[in-house]
Amino acid sequence: MSKGVYIIGAGEAKYGELWDRSLRDIAVEAGLKAVEDAGIRTRDLGAIYMSNSLGGDISRQEHLSALMSDQAGVSSEYIPSMRIEASTASGGAAIREGYLAIRSGEYETVMVGGAEKMTELYGNENIDITSSILDREWEAFEGGTPAALAALSARKYLKDFNVSKEVLAKLSVNDHLNASLNENAHFRNKITIQQALNATLIAEPLNLMDCAPLSDGASSIILASEEYVKKHSIDGVKILSSAMSQGPFALHSRECLYTVEPTKLAARKALKDANLKNSDMSFVEIHDSYNIYGLMALEDLGFAEKGKAKGLIEEGIALNDRLPVNPSGGLKAKGFPYGATGVGQAVEAYLQLKGKANKRQVKDSKTAMIHNMAGSGVASVVHILGVE
């Protein structure tokens, strides 16, 4: 059994509306970039874990892991590959599977990739397929959509805690500011509070600037055992802990509309296993598919008490503040390709902790928490990463 698991390489295909790129193209690009960054050969890999949520519905392509392996020229090595699906938390779940495989001693190195093509959807088809991540019978069939469910949580939260829409807008403004410094982000434009507040209404009280875009994109990381890292004198980023929790599927089955119990439990376990506190984090990447979920996540992850994240946001969450939030640009601005999202968060943490994040570098980064969530909160995956 390996004592530790490290990220030793990372790669991405740009997030955005990639009309001239196929799902296989971007998956292969990200994977080969990660292999090159790690300084290894594809035949050194023990296994490939590929995160994808809706490829079968959108791109009409199943078994993406095998396709990506074949197109990357790896199939001749007969390396096992598998697709991991856990809705919008697929990326985080795939990282966890790779982490556990190395911890078990089965493999020395694995690739974890995530890819999604979202912009091939239009109109009602878009709503129908993205709503498949909800309870089909009790939510989607009755007209529920991801945006509608987020709006229910937002209305209840804002009312119960007397929080203004401006607080939500500040999260979006922060994401866009950070994404303007990220060459792989979907949106690199800065926005103002007024632009965020006055955007087109989507599902009251949420408007266009409260919602992450549907993006194309791919991200990959290479994981290695502690023994492999030491043997090859590799300076990697250690995964200090990994935790996942799942709760009731439908929103109406939960005790509270603005508390995601799986996030609370996963964060608590991740911190305990890493022997760290929230105050030890240099920055955090949160799953803000809707900015209300970002607000809720800051509380459920333990950075603020319930109903008190407003104070944290007003104190400042920029790159040079006490707790930088989403240095990558978050889901709102870096982009939201479902299956790639969680892996993309790990790519950002790796770059930051290695001091390779260029203009968006968080100074003196030592530890980071990344949070990936499924749907409206049915499941959450939390990883804590660090360097000495």
Assign residue 89 the CATH number of its domain.
3.40.47.10
pLDDT < 70: residue spans in the chain: 1-2
Q: Can you say how many angstroms the Cα of residue 72 is from the centroid of all Cα atoms in its chain?
A: 24
CB within 8 Å of 41: residues ≥ 6 apart: 35
Count: domains in the chain: 1
One-letter identity of residue 149:
L
Give a yes or no: residue 314 inside a domain: no
Residue 60's pLDDT is: 81
What is the span of the domain harbouring residue 12?
5-121+214-231
Give a yes or no: residue 360 inside a domain: no
Q: Tell me, yes or no, if the pTM score tops 0.75.
A: yes
Give a yes or no: residue 15 inside a domain: yes
Which phi and psi angles does 40 have, rounded to 5°?
-115, 180
Residue 52's pLDDT is: 93
Residue 6's pLDDT is: 99
CB within 8 Å of 237: residues ≥ 6 apart: 6, 7, 349, 350, 353, 354, 385, 386, 387
Taking only the tens place, the pLDDT of each residue in 217-252 is 999 999 999 999 999 999 999 999 999 999 998 899
Q: Return the closest-CA partner of residue 331 out of 24, 88, 132.
A: 88
Side-chain-side CA neighbours of 78 within 13 Å: the count stands at 0
CB within 8 Å of 233: residues ≥ 6 apart: none
Give a yes or no: residue 320 inside a domain: no
Residue 199's pLDDT is: 98
Give a yes or no: residue 102 inside a domain: yes
Residue 210 CA to residue 290 CA, distance in Å, equals 6
Give a yes or no: residue 37 inside a domain: yes
Residue 47 CA to residue 225 CA, distance in Å, equals 13
Interhelix angle 90-103/341-353, rounded to 10 degrees, is 60
Give a yes or no: residue 113 inside a domain: yes
Give a yes or no: residue 77 inside a domain: yes
For 32-37, the CB contacts below 8 A with 24+ separation are 32/72, 33/220, 34/9, 34/10, 34/111, 34/113, 34/220, 34/221, 34/222, 35/9, 35/11, 35/111, 35/222, 36/9, 36/11, 37/9, 37/10, 37/11, 37/222
Residue 2's pLDDT is: 67
